[in-house]
């Protein structure tokens, strides 16, 4: 006599939305308040210095650069060699110094100075387009300048935001980081872009880490499509480590 198979109790996981991110992460990581870090031109230089290095090193390099030359005008007037020396502690100084020199020269040629506050009066897409015409300025740098310096609803996508938004299914697995800006930004109201950005960064740093994400602590675990895969990988990794221990003990004993 055979018994009928029970119907599967598995159901499709609910889909995480951008609004869910705001509602669940807000109480955990918020509130966040916007304040201008630097002038737009300073923010641009800082962003170049922050590429491929830690926040600590880029901050030290920027502070030393401004201490050495006093103003952005002073940086623009300095030689690439002197800029390189001032930012050496930030890493990749030989590559970043001529980039800083070049983009500042381009800005001065176009507007006769370094006051980029006029960008705040433009529609967002026009302001982005103006910045992206500058040599070496892509979507991420443009969004950082507009968001952090001018308080405009631009969505910078760094490595944490890109990773978390892919894992949560907010963007598809084949979406590249450049395209992610255009997808994520309109998901929330303009006034929510900055907190949305900050919540995803904090979640990526504290919970949804690149290596060994803390899925058991995740506020979005109920709907994260990647969580089951991550948990299976963690179990498999634990089993491999458990098998290695007895072998290591045998070698010591012998």
> What pLDDT sits at residue 222?
94
Per cent of the chain over pLDDT 90 is 76
Q: pLDDT grade, residue 12 (50/70/90)?
A: confident
Please report the domains of the chain, with CATH numbers, ordered by start residue: 12-34+158-249 (1.10.1670.10), 40-149 (1.10.340.30)
For 193-226, the pLDDT digits (tens) are: 999 999 999 999 999 999 989 999 999 999 999 9
137 SS3 class: coil
Q: pLDDT grade, residue 146 (50/70/90)?
A: very high
Q: pLDDT grade, residue 53 (50/70/90)?
A: confident
215 burial level (CB within 10 Å; 0-12, 13-18, 19+): buried
* Mean pLDDT, the chain, integer: 89
> What pLDDT sits at residue 246?
62
State how far Cα 246 lies from the chain centre: 42
> What pLDDT sits at residue 54?
87
Could you tell me which of 182, 149, 167, 187 has the C-alpha nearest to residue 229? 167
> What pLDDT sits at residue 13?
73
Helix axes 193-206, 159-167, angle to 10 degrees: 90
Which of 2-6, 22-26, 112-116 is predicted with the least confidence, judged by mean pLDDT? Answer: 2-6
Q: Do 85 and 78 touch, CB atoms closer than 8 A? A: no
CA distances to 14, 140, 187 from 162, rounded to whole Å, are 21, 11, 14
Residues ≥6 apart with Cβ < 8 Å to 5: none
For 228-242, the pLDDT digits (tens) are: 988 887 777 677 777
């Amino acid at each position: 006599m055979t018994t009928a198979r029970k119907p599967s109790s598995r159901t499709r996981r609910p889909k995480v939305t951008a609004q869910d991110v705001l509602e669940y992460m807000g109480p955990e990581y918020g509130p966040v308040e916007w304040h201008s870090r630097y002038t737009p031109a300073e923010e641009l230089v800082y962003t170049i210095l922050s590429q491929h290095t830690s926040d600590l090193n880029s901050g030290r390099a920027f502070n030393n650069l401004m201490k050495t030359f006093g103003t952005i005008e002073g940086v623009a007037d300095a030689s690439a060699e002197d800029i390189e020396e001032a930012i050496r502690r930030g890493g990749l100084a030989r590559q970043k110094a001529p980039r800083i020199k070049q983009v500042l020269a381009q800005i001065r040629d176009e507007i006769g100075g370094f006051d980029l506050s006029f960008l705040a009066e433009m529609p967002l897409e026009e302001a982005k387009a103006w910045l992206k015409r500058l040599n070496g300025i892509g979507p991420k740098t443009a969004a950082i300048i507009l968001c952090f310096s001018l308080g405009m609803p631009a969505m910078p996508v760094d490595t944490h935001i890109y990773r978390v938004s892919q894992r949560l299914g907010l963007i598809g697995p084949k979406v590249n980081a450049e395209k992610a800006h255009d997808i994520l930004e309109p998901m929330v109201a303009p006034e929510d872009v900055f907190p949305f950005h900050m919540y995803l960064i904090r979640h990526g740093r504290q919970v949804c880490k690149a290596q060994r994400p803390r899925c058991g602590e995740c506020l979005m675990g109920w709907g994260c499509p990647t969580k089951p895969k991550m948990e299976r990988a963690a179990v498999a990794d634990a089993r491999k480590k458990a098998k290695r221990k007895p072998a290591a003990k045998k070698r010591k004993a012998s």
